[in-house]
Amino acid sequence: MDDKIAVIGGGPAGMIAAGTAGLRNKNVSLFDKNNKLGKKLFITGKGRCNITNDSDIETLLQNVIVNNKFLYSAFYTFSNYDIINLLKKYGVKTKVERGNRVFPESDKSSDVINALKKYLIDNNVKIMLNKDIKNIKLNKSGKFNIFFNNDSFETFDKIILATGGMSYKQTGSSGDGYKYAKTLGHSIVKPKPALVPCEVKEAWVKDLQGLSLKNVSISAYNKSSKIFEDFGEMLFTHFGISGPIALTMSNYINKYVHDKIEIYIDLKPSLSEDKLEKRIIRDFEKYSRKQFKNSLNDLLPSKLIPVIIKLSSIDGDKFVHQITKNERRKLIEILKSLKLTFEKFRPLNEAIITSGGISTNEINPSTMESKIVKGLFFAGEIIDVDALTGGFNLQIAYSTGYLAGLNC
Ligand SMILES: Cc1cc2nc3c(=O)[nH]c(=O)nc-3n(C[C@H](O)[C@H](O)[C@H](O)COP(=O)(O)OP(=O)(O)OC[C@H]3O[C@@H](n4cnc5c(N)ncnc54)[C@H](O)[C@@H]3O)c2cc1C
């Protein structure tokens, strides 16, 4: 008779793992504490779900910045094109956007969840919702007793832990899997926030709350050494900065947070200082009879203008023809390197992913089986691997889920 398999966690990793195990005629039950599957998947990509990234495997691996070698086998066995094809089979057409990000054509994450649900149903997986697993114990015959919130328990031959990380706890990912794995003898690399917004000292960011800048460059310095630089989109918030490049930055500056970190935003990265000066001179000629505060609309989004004027210390009521060369230079300096002082990361619950988790040294990378406990498998964000934004974290979930489902 088939082994009895329990998959714990109905996120993308657990759904792919369970469906794949079911495909092999296993007796599979998928448990989730929520009343529906894929609660976190639902909010991915601002509800549009950046499913994966349309690039080659080497590029996928380069975008995994913690323990990428561990994923070699997983990515080659179940690639980005495998998930795209699987979703297509279940009715989800995809499209590719900036940065090779793949989205459902419908822009609806719910379509991805529904397709994965069909994969489960097609493969006879028993979907067990509202099942909050409280504990897992190995019994004397080497099987797993899974204890539920009402103190009842059920015995399984094998289990796949796919309980995710511990950010956005309201989605169900509360770090429970780390606890169970530890009880079963695994080491946990301390969970920390990753891809997380940054708080800064400068109070003026509050005035820019909600302002998204599409083509800017950010660099970060620690003791005058450059520790990060990237170009793209960022967002001002009431506490500091977020958006793709700010989130990416968080993964690179996290080892320097005990020192002072200065962040510089180049608001006009495509213009050298000379070119920017020429551009401003042109604008100032055009608006020479206007007040300074009314002369920057061609150059900057309106929300940014009062802040830049304040930081430049140039009187906003001054007529443009009265602005001195030194004042113009000061303005250019601010536009090319708007300074922010890093204070701290937002809390783990606001992070896009959790860094840390089950140590990769204790998992077989070709099967996702524990090297410590036979019959125990891991999949998804619970494992100590982290990737950048762009669909790479979901790809980790599907690829590791697939290997676990294939080998359990
Ligand atoms: C706001 C936001 C946007 C994101 N956008 C993207 C994106 O566009 N593209 C991308 O690649 N990545 C994105 N991510 C990251 C991505 O969502 C995660 O990396 C991915 O969901 C991890 O999948 P998982 O299956 O390992 O875990 P999860 O999706 O966290 O699923 C774990 C499941 O386990 C269940 N569970 C936990 N404990 C128990 C228990 N004790 N008993 C029963 N069930 C339990 C939970 O209820 C949950 O459903 C985003 C994350 C966030 C927070």
Q: Is the CB of 257 under 6 A from ligand 1?
A: no
Q: What is the pLDDT of residue 85?
A: 98
From the CB of 397, is ligand 1 less than 6 Å away?
yes
Domain with CATH 1.10.8.50 in the chain: 197-345
Establish whether residue 381 lines the binding site of ligand 1, counting it when its CB lies within 6 angstroms of any ligand atom. Answer: yes
Question: Is 397:380 a contact under the CB 8 Å cutoff?
Answer: yes
The pLDDT of residue 255? 87
Nearest protein Cα to ligand 1, atom 41: 133
What pLDDT was estimated at residue 2? Answer: 81
CA-nearest residue for atom 53, ligand 1, is 352
Q: Does domain 4-193+351-407 have CATH number 3.50.50.60?
A: yes
Distance of CA 93 to the CA centre of its chain: 23
CA of 135 relative to ligand 1 center, distance in Å:
20
pTM of the model: 0.93
**Cβ pair 214, 185 in contact under 8 A:** no
pLDDT digits (tens, 9 = 90+) for 131-168: 999 999 999 999 999 999 888 999 999 999 999 999 99
Nearest-atom index, ligand 1, CA of 391: 11
pLDDT given for residue 396 in this prediction: 98
Please work out whether the CB of residue 13 comes within 6 Å of at least one atom of ligand 1.
yes
pLDDT score recorded for residue 151: 84
Where are the domain boundaries for CATH 3.50.50.60 in the chain?
4-193+351-407
So what's the pLDDT on residue 1?
66
Report which ligand 1 atom has the smallest distance to the Cα of 180: 41
Residue whose CA is at the smallest distance from ligand 1 atom 22: 381
Q: Output the tens digit of pLDDT for each of the chain's 408 residues.
A: 689 999 999 999 999 999 999 999 889 999 999 999 999 999 999 999 999 999 999 999 999 999 999 999 999 999 999 999 999 999 999 999 999 999 999 999 999 999 999 999 999 999 999 999 999 999 999 999 999 988 899 999 999 999 999 999 999 999 999 999 999 999 999 999 999 999 999 999 999 999 999 999 999 999 889 999 999 999 999 999 999 999 999 999 988 988 899 999 999 999 999 999 999 999 999 999 999 999 999 999 999 999 999 999 999 999 999 999 999 999 999 999 999 999 999 999 999 999 999 999 999 999 999 999 999 999 999 999 999 999 999 999 999 999 999 999
Ligand 1 atom nearest to 50, measured from its CA: 8
Cα–Cα distances in Å, from 45 out to 117, 366, 389, 403? 19, 29, 10, 25
- 120 CA to middle of ligand 1, Å? 17
CATH of 197-345, one of 1.10.10.2520, 1.20.1600.10, 3.90.1150.10, 1.10.8.50: 1.10.8.50
Residues counted in the chain: 408
The response to whether residue 387 sits with its C-beta less than 6 Å from ligand 1 reads no
How close is the Cα of 359 to the center of ligand 1, in Å?
Answer: 19
CB of 393 closer than 6 A to ligand 1? yes
Task: Judge whether 348 and 166 are in contact, CB under 8 Å.
Answer: yes
